[in-house]
């Protein structure tokens, strides 16, 4: 057995009756898959449970069972007896779903697979060896004696498929394939999941990427691009897409890559969302953590104050230094 579910987490789930499940800002397939999967799992346990997400629903994931019932932050109540935080390494990732004024007295429990997890819950189950939080929920269902039904399996397979880029990331262990096998056996359709998540793009992405990639830079084994709000607006996009970094991280000459996306705070101050990737044998997890963010060895991120130019000028030299250091000290494939 590669995992150990803490007794205090199981006891907290057992004791609670009205539970809020929440996942992270800038949601991805594992955020949606795990938050909806956990909510559904709690329903199967006979509990009252709701899911909430900090940002507006991403249309790509509306197909997931339960997606229509996800609460926006302003619809979140304050009478829960437990909050389950999924797929997040620190509490700031809950965005405005968690309101300290209303929720401070409610215990938090954490289920996550990020190596940078700060263990901010009253109970914390962190499995950095798991490729997705959704993979952990396969084990939780098993430990609770709950059979995987179709809605649960669909949610969890979506998390596993998206976080592993369809079983292509370096953390795709035999256990990941085994968990996926259980989900497939429970009826989840692998090909349909891939079609609905990884294999789709609006046409407007093509001119956006062609513009962004025209500005790609490569220096000392580090490749990067910047995405400005003007470029996003021209394409009619609210955000960039983590698949852009999949393209950069495939570049033969690059061991590390970054996508820097211009953002603005509600007060209008410029910030930059940094998304990092590393080839097998290299890690960007520490770098993101040191910069106030988090993630995994091969994929991590953070948000920094400042404009695009200033953040790139600060972060790229750190990446180059980290890559040079790791090229000397780490054996790599
Ligand atoms: P992506 O580049 O796909 O947005 O994120 C890669 C990984 O890093 C994901 O696991 C994501 O949860 C994590 N990550 C990205 N940005 C942040 C951040 O600002 N803070 C933390 N703690 N993790 C982040
Ligand atoms: Mn995840």
Nearest-atom index, ligand 1, CA of 242:
3
Mean pLDDT of 25-54: 98
How many other CB atoms sit within 10 Å of the CB of residue 59? 9
Contact 296, 320 (CB under 8 A): no
Residue 238's pLDDT band (cuts 50, 70, 90): confident
Contacts of 192 (CB under 8 A, 6+ apart): none
Mean pLDDT of 184-199: 97
Mean pLDDT of 6-28: 98
Closest residue by Cα to atom 20, ligand 1, is 293
Does ligand 1 come within 6 angstroms of the Cβ of 293? yes
Nearest-atom index, ligand 1, CA of 31:
12
Strand 256-264 to strand 270-278: parallel, antiparallel, or no bridges (unpaired)?
antiparallel
pLDDT for res 228: 97
Is 253 a residue whose pLDDT tops 50?
Answer: yes
Closest residue by Cα to atom 1, ligand 1, is 275
Residue 240's pLDDT band (cuts 50, 70, 90): confident
CA–centroid distance, residue 192 to ligand 2 (Å): 20
pLDDT for res 331: 53
Contact 122, 109 (CB under 8 A): yes
Q: 228 by DSSP, 3-state: which?
A: coil
Closest residue by Cα to atom 2, ligand 1, is 275
Does ligand 1 come within 6 angstroms of the Cβ of 303? yes
Mean pLDDT of 33-52: 98
Is 1 a residue whose pLDDT tops 70?
Answer: no
Mean pLDDT of 43-50: 98
Mean pLDDT, the chain, whole residue set: 96
Of 295, 297, 315, 319, the residue with max ligand 1 atoms within 8 A of its CB, to mutate for a pocket test, comes to: 295
CA–centroid distance, residue 294 to ligand 1 (Å): 6
How would you label 20-57 residue by residue, b for 16+ Cβ within 10 Å and e otherwise? Answer: bbbbbbbbbbbbbbbbbbbbbbbbbbebebbbbbbbee
Is 258 a residue whose pLDDT tops 50?
Answer: yes
CA–centroid distance, residue 300 to ligand 1 (Å): 5
Does ligand 1 come within 6 angstroms of the Cβ of 302? yes
Residue 79's pLDDT band (cuts 50, 70, 90): very high
Mean pLDDT of 204-223: 97
Is 128 a residue whose pLDDT tops 50?
Answer: yes
Does ligand 1 come within 6 angstroms of the Cβ of 275? yes
pTM for this predicted structure: 0.93
Q: How far apart are CA 107 and CA 121, in angstroms?
A: 7
Closest residue by Cα to atom 19, ligand 1, is 302
pLDDT for res 333: 46
């Amino acid at each position: 057995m590669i995992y150990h579910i803490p007794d205090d987490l199981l006891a907290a789930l057992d004791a609670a009756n009205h539970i809020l499940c929440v996942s992270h800002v800038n949601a991805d397939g594992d955020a949606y898959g795990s938050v909806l999967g956990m909510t559904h799992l709690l329903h199967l346990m006979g509990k009252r449970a709701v899911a909430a997400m900090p940002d507006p629903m991403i249309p790509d994931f509306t197909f997931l069972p339960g997606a229509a019932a996800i609460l926006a932050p302003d619809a979140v109540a304050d009478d829960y007896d437990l909050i389950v935080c999924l797929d997040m390494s620190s509490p700031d990732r809950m965005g405005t779903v968690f309101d300290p004024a209303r929720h401070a007295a409610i215990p938090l429990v954490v289920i996550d697979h990020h190596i940078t997890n700060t263990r901010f819950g009253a109970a914390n189950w962190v499995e950095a060896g798991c490729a997705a939080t959704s993979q952990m929920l396969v084990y939780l269902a098993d430990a609770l004696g709950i059979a995987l039904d179709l809605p649960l399996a669909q949610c969890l397979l979506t998390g596993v498929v998206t976080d592993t880029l369809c079983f292509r990331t370096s953390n795709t262990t035999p256990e990941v394939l085994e968990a996926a096998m259980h989900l497939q056996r429970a009826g989840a359709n692998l090909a349909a999941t891939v079609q609905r998540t990884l294999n789709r793009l609006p046409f407007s992405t093509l001119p956006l990427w062609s513009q962004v990639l025209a500005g790609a830079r490569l220096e000392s084994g580090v490749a990067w691009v910047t995405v400005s709000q003007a470029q996003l607006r021209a394409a009619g996009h609210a955000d960039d897409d983590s698949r852009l970094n999949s393209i950069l991280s495939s570049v033969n000459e690059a061991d590390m890559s970054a996508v820097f996306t211009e953002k603005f705070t509600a007060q209008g101050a410029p910030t930059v969302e940094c998304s990092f990737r590393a080839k097998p044998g290299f890690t960007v997890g520490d770098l993101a953590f040191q910069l106030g963010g988090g993630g995994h060895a091969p994929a991590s991120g953070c948000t920094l104050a400042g404009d695009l130019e200033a953040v790139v000028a600060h972060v790229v030299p750190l990446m180059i230094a980290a890559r040079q250091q790791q090229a000397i000290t780490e054996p790599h494939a």
